[in-house]
Amino acid sequence: MQRKTKVPSWYLDLSMIVNYWEGKKRAYHHTAPVNMLYGLHRALSLILDEGLENVFRRHLDCHTMLVETLGDMGMSLFVDPDCRLPMLNATVIPDGIDEAQVRSRLLNNHRIEIGAGLGPLAGKIWRIGVMGHTARPENITCLANALSEQSRRGDFACRYGGEEFVIVMPNITKRTAYERARKLRRRLNSLQIPYERHRLTTTISMGIASYPANGDTRQALLRAADQAMYAAKKAGRDHILTYDQFLASEEASED
């Protein structure tokens, strides 16, 4: 071999195997990383099937979606936009968050792993990877929902009227609020209350309003959520309706 520079990857350094095969002297070489080579072959095949430009675009789109979603949750990235790498997103940890506990819960409860900050950034950032086959919009949504669920401390619920409750969720997107409402509905639907020889089940109707789009005061926001909730009840049991959907249905009925 006429190579003048050292092979940077130990696993891919064929010169050690060449020396072994030629038998010039007793030489140790690595055990062939068969699984890694199969994985590399499969990864390259997927890239060729999808197309290199499409792969680049997918990663950038997922990065943009992640940045927007984190922004809606009140989080920001550590690196300036012009210097960001779409595949690795250094996210500033909000104040008052036990970041190690959040990462542990993400891993144990949702099977999602994000990296901790290193060196002087330890405890200050999370490293969120958006790369390879996992760079998909549905994975960004899954992470956002899980991160919101595990890291939020400002949410609270209270009774409002006879059989009504209000859940306040600061710094959350409408989409995430809707997904959390659906999750709450599923949990309530699964409840079975024993009564004599019967098992009672529950249903729930929910209305969602967003500040300040649907109301810039407490009273206006509650009124918007109330209207959406009663419209959800009118549509049938176990419905969820946003105030925007309520307004759209009202306009459609007028037409």
Quick check: is 32 in a domain?
yes
Instruction: Write the CATH number for 137.
Output: 3.90.1150.10
Domain count, the chain: 3
| pLDDT tens digits along 109-127 | 899 999 999 999 999 999 9
Domain termination site, one of 126, 151, 176: 151
At 232 the pLDDT is 94
- The secondary structure of residue 31, as a DSSP letter, is P
Distance separating alpha carbons of residues 106 and 113, to the nearest angstrom: 7
Q: Supply the angle between the helices 99-110 and 137-151 in degrees, to the nearest 10.
A: 130
**What mean pLDDT do residues 89-96 have?**
86
Domain termination site, one of 131, 151, 171: 151
**What mean pLDDT do residues 213-224 have?**
94
Query: 92 and 28, same structural domain?
Result: no
- Give the H/E segment covering residue 158: strand 156-159
Share of the chain above pLDDT 70, in %: 94
Task: Residue 219: name the closest of 163, 178, 166, 153 by CA.
Answer: 166
Q: What is the CA radius of gyration of the chain?
A: 26
In contact, 114 and 70? CB cutoff 8 Å:
no
Whether the full predicted model's pTM is greater than 0.85, yes or no, is no
Query: 103 and 57, same structural domain?
Result: yes
Query: 146 and 55, same structural domain?
Result: yes
Domain termination site, one of 107, 127, 151: 151
Q: Which domain holds residue 32?
A: 14-49
In contact, 91 and 78? CB cutoff 8 Å:
yes
Instruction: Write the CATH number for 181.
Output: 3.30.70.270
Task: Residue 243: name the closest of 21, 222, 252, 104 by CA.
Answer: 222
Query: 21 and 79, same structural domain?
Result: no
| pLDDT tens digits along 69-79 | 888 777 889 99
